């Protein structure tokens, strides 16, 4: 039988462990050196001889003290050091939590990202928080958002239901970028009880001509259920891997499909999706089991 002293030691030890675990999840893991998550794959109908390195950054959520302009600039340097052919930004540049010590203005984080370099360029899409934190875009129920203006000001194109054709060593391919799927917040005064998106998957893919491969950028991974086999690879963020992930499972995932699209490389019906765990966080400043990461994807 456990003694009173033994019981108190057990309780004290458990409390200390919980406090230590919480301190790690809030104060240490979010600030750890960024992990480079590497994937190597040859998607369906990928041209023989086309070797392409794509580096992706997702869910930066700029704010102080967690994701300062200085840290974002260092992330750009880390991305450049991976020698990508192409860099893609997967949305959510603005803060996703109110638990901050200070704001980072759109011009600040955009300037920090302007250091990204790649032979085939840097392309971007927007995320839900880039819309949700933009009062004027919400009121007008239309863009361009402040995030889009800031990115374009520093020379980074933003794809919203648009495509661009790129070429490497004689092989052509397409990057398609979706507008956000959760752009407008619910607004009962305007008769909107749920989120409204501006994404147009069919219209976007209709802009692609010929049979060259397509890489789709879509901030929220839920669209993957509708993505046709014609698309070689879909890249998403948004979920942060659940921010807390234990033994391959995330208790809370901002997706209608739960852990199905929470994190990592998903293959369904010979279609490929990669979901980044992202770099920042939303709601609460906690990461556990999901270190901040940059994606390096080698295709072909």
Instruction: Give the Cβ contact number of residue 20 at 10 Å.
Output: 11
**Residue 189 binned pLDDT confidence (cut-offs 50, 70, 90):** confident
How many domains is the chain partitioned into structurally? 2
CATH code for the domain in which residue 152 is found: 3.60.21.10
Which tokens in the block code for residue 36?
């480079």
* pLDDT above 70: residue 16: no
In this structure, are 5 and 144 located in the same domain?
no
Residues in Cβ contact with 63 at an 8 Å cutoff, skipping those fewer than 6 apart: 95, 97, 100, 102, 103, 104, 280
Which tokens in the block code for residue 149?
């203006």
pLDDT for the residue 21: 36
Domain residues for 10? 1-31
pLDDT for the residue 45: 86
In this structure, are 168 and 127 located in the same domain?
yes
Alpha-helical (H) ranges within 114-238 are 128-132, 135-140, 146-153, 201-205
In this structure, are 105 and 49 located in the same domain?
yes
CB 26 within 8 A of CB 245: no
Span 263-273, average pLDDT: 97
In this structure, are 155 and 287 located in the same domain?
yes
In this structure, are 5 and 128 located in the same domain?
no
Question: In a 10 Å sphere around its CB, with 0-12 CB exposed, 13-18 middle and 19+ buried, how is residue 210 labelled?
Answer: exposed
Helix axes 106-113, 69-81, angle to 10 degrees: 20
**Residue 32 binned pLDDT confidence (cut-offs 50, 70, 90):** low
As a whole number, the mean pLDDT across the chain is 90
Strands 52-57 vs 86-89: parallel, antiparallel or unpaired: parallel
CB 131 within 8 A of CB 158: no
In this structure, are 23 and 55 located in the same domain?
no
In this structure, are 20 and 46 located in the same domain?
no
In this structure, are 220 and 77 located in the same domain?
yes
DSSP 44-68: TTPPTT--EEEEEE-----BBTTB-
In this structure, are 22 and 44 located in the same domain?
no
* pLDDT above 60: residue 15: no
pLDDT for the residue 58: 98
CB 83 within 8 A of CB 114: no
* pLDDT above 60: residue 20: no
pLDDT for the residue 12: 42
Which tokens in the block code for residue 84?
């990508």
* pLDDT above 80: residue 255: yes
The counts of H helices and E strands in the chain are: 7, 11
pLDDT for the residue 267: 97
Give the lowest-confidence range in 19-28, 98-107, 240-249: 19-28
In this structure, are 80 and 186 located in the same domain?
yes
Span 128-153, average pLDDT: 98
pLDDT for the residue 33: 66
In this structure, are 19 and 38 located in the same domain?
no
In this structure, are 49 and 66 located in the same domain?
yes
pLDDT for the residue 135: 97
CB 54 within 8 A of CB 297: yes
DSSP reduced 3-state for 108: helix
- What are the b/e assignments for 117-143, b being 16+ CB within 10 Å? ebebbbbbbbbbbbbbbbeebbeeeeb
Query: pLDDT tens across 46-103, in order?
Result: 999 999 999 999 999 999 999 999 999 999 999 999 999 999 999 999 999 999 999 9
């Amino acid at each position: 039988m456990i003694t009173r002293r033994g019981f108190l030691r057990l309780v004290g030890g458990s409390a200390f462990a919980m406090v230590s675990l919480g301190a790690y999840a809030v104060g240490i893991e979010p600030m750890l050196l960024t992990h480079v998550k590497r994937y190597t794959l040859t998607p369906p109908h990928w041209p023989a001889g086309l070797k392409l390195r794509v580096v992706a950054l997702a869910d930066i959520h700029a704010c102080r003290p967690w994701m300062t302009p200085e840290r974002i600039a260092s992330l750009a340097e880390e991305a450049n050091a991976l020698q990508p052919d192409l860099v893609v930004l997967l949305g959510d540049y603005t803060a996703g939590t109110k638990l901050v010590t200070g704001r980072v203005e759109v011009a600040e984080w955009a300037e920090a990202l302007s250091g990204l370099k790649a032979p085939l360029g840097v392309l971007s899409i927007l995320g839900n928080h880039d819309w949700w934190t933009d009062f004027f875009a919400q009121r007008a129920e239309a863009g361009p958002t402040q995030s889009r203006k800031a990115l374009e000001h520093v020379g980074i194109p933003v794809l919203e239901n648009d495509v661009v054709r790129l070429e490497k060593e004689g092989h052509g391919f397409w990057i398609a970028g979706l507008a956000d799927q959760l752009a407008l917040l619910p607004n009962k005064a305007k008769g909107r009880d749920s989120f409204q998106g501006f994404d147009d998957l069919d219209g976007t893919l209709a802009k692609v001509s010929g049979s060259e491969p397509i890489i789709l950028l879509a901030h929220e991974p839920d669209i993957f259920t509708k993505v046709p086999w014609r698309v070689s690879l879909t890249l998403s963020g948004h979920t942060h891997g659940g921010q807390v992930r234990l033994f391959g499972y995330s208790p809370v995932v901002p997706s209608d499909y739960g852990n199905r699209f929470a994190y990592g490389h998903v293959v369904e019906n010979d279609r490929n999706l990669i979901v980044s765990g992202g770099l920042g966080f939303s709601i609460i400043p906690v990461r556990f089991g999901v270190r901040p990461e940059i994606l390096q994807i080698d295709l072909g």
